[in-house]
A and B are shown apart, each in its own frame.
Chain A
Amino acid sequence: MECLKNKTIQEYIDKSLNRVESSITRDHLIVCEKCRTKYEQYKKMEKLLNNPIYKEPPAKIEKFVMNRLFSKIPTYSSIFALIALSFILLVSWIYIYFDFNNNSIIQAFKLTSNSAFNWITSIITFISNIFSSVYAIFKVLNKLFMIIFNVNIGTQLFGLIILSIFIGVFFFVSRIVYKKLKGHN
């Protein structure tokens, strides 16, 4: 009698043979010691494979994924960035459209302020100086932009675009830095 194929023995263990094939295999296994040994080996192996050795996954996997997906900080930083952006846009708008430095109320305040309110005048002058410098920078950059691309979008609009890009970059960089720091803890 011809010996069983290895595949047949495995299919017999898997119970994937039909009834006839299964009974032929069973009968052969009774009489053939060689095939029976193989059958025992496969059966033992099947049992061992069905009980795998699992290594416990490190806890940092779950921690990392949860932090990455549900970190609360991007929400806070979004709010912070939004407030900062709104503030800068608002102040820029006041300065550009109401001519902050030459505004009659500011001028009147500067002229009438006595020593008790000097600090307010100083703050106003300080803000004016910052804006004048930033405005000058934007003016130069806009001139360069005009020379390179031959398009004049105006210093004010150009300034607002640059500010928005700056805020966006700031937001993303702070997010990355935060995640790196959190990852180390």
Chain B
Amino acid sequence: MKTFSSKNRKIILDDDKILIKKILSGEESSFEEIMRKYNKRIFNFVLRMVRNEEVAIELTQDFFIKIFTKLYKYNFEYKFSTWAYRICYNLVIDYIRKNQTYVNSLDDDSTYKKNSYMRESSTKEDGADVLEREEVKSYLWKTVNLLPVKYKELILLRYIQELKYDEISEVTNLPIGTVKNRIFKAKDLLRKEIEKDGMLKK
């Protein structure tokens, strides 16, 4: 691992930072590598947030273009992934604010009506059959899509982007306590929702 010092502070150059240095020195293939590394997680995060594939594609493209144009502003003292996810997060939140597309989501008070997917699945589960793990997983992730945005964004940052609580707090600008509480609350909602359909029974 390479190191270099900036303002008397030693900065560890991880793989991402080495790639960024190469991009800044004009190496196109390094940007391609960065894209390949983050494409899947960014696209899936955006897709689950906006729930529209065409929009997700556009936003993912915008994200990479934005990353490239802002790269000269990147401070090597910080982790690249956190910096990038923050840009992605802001892009998606801006889009959602401008296009209020959330009508169908789970509420804290459970007074919502189940969407078609859920109705379809519950009829299937009326039988006493034990469901396959993959089916439960798919059901759980579809339920994640229905969470209110303030919970969903944190669940996605935690499990799709694989960020730690402190990194999520940095990305979203929320205090770490709020991040933890919201994630607990979100998992609570998810568990209750799935439990209703007996999905988590052994």
Contact = CB atoms under 8 A, between A and B. Distances in A.
> Which residue among A10, A54, A57 has the maximum number of chain B CB atoms within 10 Å of its CB?
A57
A65 B64 contact: yes
Contact of B31 (A56, A60, A69): A69
Nearest to A66: B32
B57 A60 contact: yes
A16 B190 CA distance: 21
A53 B36 CA distance: 18
Interface stretch (A40-48, A92-100, A143-151, A162-170): A40-48
A61 interface: yes
Given A42-B187, A45-B140, A61-B61, A52 B159 contact: yes
A140 to B, nearest CB: 43
B68 interface: yes
- DSSP majority for the A interface? helix
18 contacts: A6-B188, A41-B194, A42-B187, A45-B191, A48-B136, A49-B144, A49-B159, A50-B159, A52-B159, A52-B160, A53-B141, A55-B47, A56-B40, A57-B39, A62-B35, A66-B32, A68-B65, A69-B28
Interface of B: 28, 31-32, 35-36, 39-41, 43-44, 47, 57, 60-61, 64-65, 68, 133, 136-138, 140-141, 144, 155, 158-160, 180-181, 184, 187-188, 190-191, 194-195, 200, 202
In the A-B complex, the 9 residue pairs with the closest CB atoms: A57-B43, A41-B200, A65-B64, A49-B159, A48-B137, A7-B184, A10-B184, A53-B141, A57-B39
